[in-house]
Amino acid sequence: MLTGKLTCTAVAVFGLVLAFFIAPMTAHASDQTALLGDATQTMHHMRHDKTFGPSRDLLRDARAILIVPALVKGGFIFGGEGGDGVLLARHGRSWSQPAFYSLASASFGLQIGLEKSELVMFVMSDRALRAVERSKFKFGAGAGLTVVTLGAAAEGATSGNLSGDIIVWASSVGAYGGLTLNGSVLAPKNDWNDDFYGRSVSVPDILSDKVTKPQTRELRNAIASVF
């Protein structure tokens, strides 16, 4: 009985800590314009931070890029991670309008820690872009795509020794040693997209610039300036 009470108390305490940690991000990300600003800052980090590795070459070859400025992962018995991001397709040296996405997963295990990651996902193939454009995309062996995750070792990587349908760069701080996307689900935030562009719009329509918004110019220019 005592053990059960202690477990419930520990979970409750962790819940309060996690809520405190995530609350600023949740309130901030509820505004699409604020998320675009955070994504722009991530691209500035990419331009000046050597740990982003061969980002210029990856961007030059990528079909699309997904930017998640704040992916939060926490765990105490139960673990999970999530964050909001934007997906843009490359058109030569310019970039499409952004489509809003969410990235989330849940896990169960003896996990203790709290981590926050800045994540950039390079979509390197047409089949990967088609998969991401669907209503939901789940990372894992069943997806039929090769996913390469980079971390602190990205500085030593080159485009020549990197291959995959999706290449993920993540800068993490906290108790977790790395980022695992296996089992994570990436899905478009259709309500955010409809609200931002003022009408019902699909992700392919957004990525082909069938809708436009002046507020996206700063982010698109920031991505273009990286290479």
Report whether pLDDT(129) > 90. yes
Q: Which of 28-32, 40-44, 135-139, 151-155 has the lowest mean pLDDT?
A: 151-155
Instruction: Enumerate the H helices of 110-202 as residue ranges.
Output: 126-133, 190-197
63 pLDDT above the threshold of 80: yes
181 phi and psi angles, rounded to 5 deg: -95, -5
For residue 144, is it left (φ>0), alpha (ψ between -120 and 50) or beta?
A: left
pLDDT for residue 173: 61
Question: What average pLDDT does range 29-47 have in this prediction?
Answer: 86
- Whole-angstrom distance, CA of residue 69 vs CA of residue 37: 9
**Which is nearest to 110 in space by CA: 82, 79, 80, 81?**
79
Count of beta carbons in the 10 Å neighbourhood of residue 173: 10
The pLDDT score that the predictor gives to residue 31 is 81
Please give the pLDDT value at position 81.
78
In 3-state terms, what secondary structure has residue 158? coil
Task: Kindly report whether the global pTM for this prediction surpasses the value 0.85.
Answer: no
Could you report the per-residue pLDDT of 138-172, keeping only the tens digit for each?
A: 887 666 778 877 654 444 444 455 678 898 887 76
